[in-house]
Amino acid sequence: MIRKMPIIITGGGQRLGLACAKALVAKGYSVIITYRKVRKDIAALEEQGITCIQADFSTSSGVDLFTTHILEQYSALGGIIHNASEWDSEEECSNTALLMETMWQVHVFAPYRINLAFEALLCAGAEQDGQADIIHMTDYVAEKGSDKHIAYAASKAGLANLTCSFAKRFAPCIKVNAIAPSLLMFNNSDDDDYRIKALSKSLLRKEPGEQEGVLAVQYILDSLYMTGRTLSLDGGRHLV
């Protein structure tokens, strides 16, 4: 079922967010993306009819500016995909207090405030389209933890918990689910040793690519009877 009301994808300027934006527009969805840094793909996305809004969710004022803009411009939404993310580690950061604050701001506080701010818009979208969705992009490490990305893992666990709480609050008007990937795609800077080690962590030992995440998003949007759940995209990593 194609939504007539627009779907917001935060962090839609690159990687999985970008792939989801392109895929949904190709299917006929109206899509709004947020991006923090200007990238070469933004102009091309706008030419495809995607509304692109620059937003920085690492500060409360950035969240305020974004929510105010959407509330002024739109009366209904078909969904929100919370994909905006930070990936800093304790080893790379000298100020661990600031690191934890930033991780929670981006992965927990921003989605929390955005969900609450857009509750009425999502309910209006559900009334027009039959249903509306919130999708939280969490992470495999939300369950297992990470000794190298402690603040990141903790904040993604917080986002995972928000999935359950908002599913309860917004039912039956809005479905709220999460997608928890481990490895979907490598970065160009990843060397061969890292790639071999990363692939060995799952049973399927493959780099499935961005399409695996796109398919999971589409499944949740099409589903009529799933809320408060997490789709794990980890290649059987939990069994290794």
Instruction: Summarize pLDDT for 101-149 with one digit per residue, the tens.
Output: 999 999 999 999 999 999 999 999 999 999 999 999 999 999 999 999 9
Tens of pLDDT along 78-87?
999 999 999 8
Q: What are the percentages of helix, strand and coil residues in the chain, rounded to 5?
A: 50, 15, 40
The residue behind tokens 């500060």 is 59
pLDDT tens figures, 1-15 = 788 999 999 999 999
State yes or no: pLDDT of 188 exceeds 90: no
Domain map (residue ranges) of the chain: 7-239
Task: Provide CB contacts within 8 A for 165, sequence distance 6+.
Answer: none
Q: CATH second-level architecture of 7-239?
A: 3-Layer(aba) Sandwich (3.40)
Residues 158/207, Cβ–Cβ less than 8 Å: no
| Distance in angstroms (rounded) separating the CA atoms of residues 32 and 43 | 13
Write out the catalytic residue numbers: 152
